[in-house]
Amino acid sequence: MNRIFFALVAIAFAATVLAQLTWAPAITHADVQAVALADGSLLAVGGGQADRMVGETWRDTPDPGRSGTLVAAAGGALLVGGEDPSAEVLRFDGRAWVPAAPLPVAVAGPAAATSRGRAVVAGGRTATGTNENVYVYESETDT
């Protein structure tokens, strides 16, 4: 009986604490994506805008000019694929978006993550169906 009572008290306490936590808007882009960069800053891209948070301050960052999937990579970030299938890859080097090695296949909406400093891109839609491949990007060799 005591265990149930203490469990209920703990749940009530947690609910009270969590009710006090709120999400506050930091930026107001449509369709925004954000990644943490290796230098500790945060890069947000979406809605025709890009911003970078350094410390507690948001700074304007060049807009990549298109949509895609954002993923952290060694030395910056990558924007891969597109809203429509695209093989184009752009790399943010901390100052500007520059072309990087293209994907082997044009995809829209792939999933992406960083593993051991490499960008891993998987899946997505192609012009004819679904991409079932996984690709790994090496920043040092741009491949």
CA distance 34 to 38: 13
CA 34 to chain centre: 4
Higher pLDDT, 113 or 46: 113
Residue range 18-28, pLDDT digits in tens: 555 555 555 55
Residues 98/91, Cβ–Cβ less than 8 Å: yes
Mean pLDDT over 132-138 rounds to 91
Structure token digits, residue 65:
């000019």
Render pLDDT for 58-74 as a digit per residue (tens, 0 to 9).
787 777 877 888 998 88
Query: Residue 141 in contact with residue 122, Cβ under 8 Å?
Result: no
Structure tokens at 70: 């954002």
Residue 63: Cβ-neighbour burial (10 angstroms; 0-12, 13-18, 19+): middle
